[in-house]
Structure 1
Amino acid sequence: MPVVGELVLETAEDTRDWGVRLGRLLRAGDLVLLTGELGAGKTTLTQGIGEGLGVRGPITSPTFVIARVHPSLVGGPELVHVDAYRLGGAEELDDLDLDTAIDAAVTVVEWGEGLAEDLSPDLLSITLSGLSRRSLRLAARGPRWSSSQAREQLAELVSLT
């Protein structure tokens, strides 16, 4: 998957703020996979995405419930927040029926690498590393992200620090 860019986020607040900017670009049907070790900021980033989308919170890690739906407060798409950490494989992800709602929502899947890539032909993959000072790598694939306008928006997003 082509890498759009990389940046360093100095604090958790920077991670959240970057998520807000990303959330403002997202629309119904977008799939975002978040990868990174425990404490790397996946849920913090999702909180920012939710704020950028204008959805009802609070957004917390759905580790034990697997998935949470956050309705829009502004008439936009809802946020489906999935934590695939406890899932045993793609079959268990299929049991969540995410593909039935994917066109109507923005879907963010933590720990989804190797499980959720086939939910949509369009995909943003974000890898976070580090615990306080975080490195972020953004990759994109699919028709949604291949237009010159979308590429420019994503490139601008990773050039912001």
Structure 2
Amino acid sequence: MRINLKEMDKSDIDEVMKIERESFHIPWSREAFLNLIYSSSSICLVAVTEDRSVVGFICIRYVTDEAEILEFAVKESFRGIGIGRKLLNEALKKLDNLGIASVYLEVRPSNTPAIALYKRAGFIETGRRKNYYMEPKEDALLMKLSLKKL
């Protein structure tokens, strides 16, 4: 199956929202995604199948030389086949081209597949935020990646 990446646009939001609701206990609103895709300081990418179905997305905000991965998910039936890695790698390449030096994120410690993906990409654990997540209550694991120009 061929998966392509593209910039998220308004026409993708309905499918993004389905993945968002499937992936997160407290999903973002449609307006939150719209605000990001129209922001000049964000990167939002979607992974699409040959029939243009959205199967994953990543949204990142950046300020000066720092960025934060805000939302990142792959449709449950498409997990484990490299779509998340493809989205993350492309987003990191775009951030590097913008001169971003550091990328941050928070992740549930129970989300071991995501943590493994981030570690393979070079992220390191930098700390925890106690009781950060609700439903269910859980700490947030803080991770950071230092981007270096080649």
What TM-score range do you get, normalising by the shorter chain? 0.3 to 0.5
Identify which of structures 1 and 2 has the higher relative contact order when contacts are C-alpha pairs closer than 8 Å and 6+ apart: 1
Give the TM-score normalised by structure 2.
Answer: 0.36
Higher share of residues assigned strand: 2
Give the TM-score normalised by structure 1.
Answer: 0.34
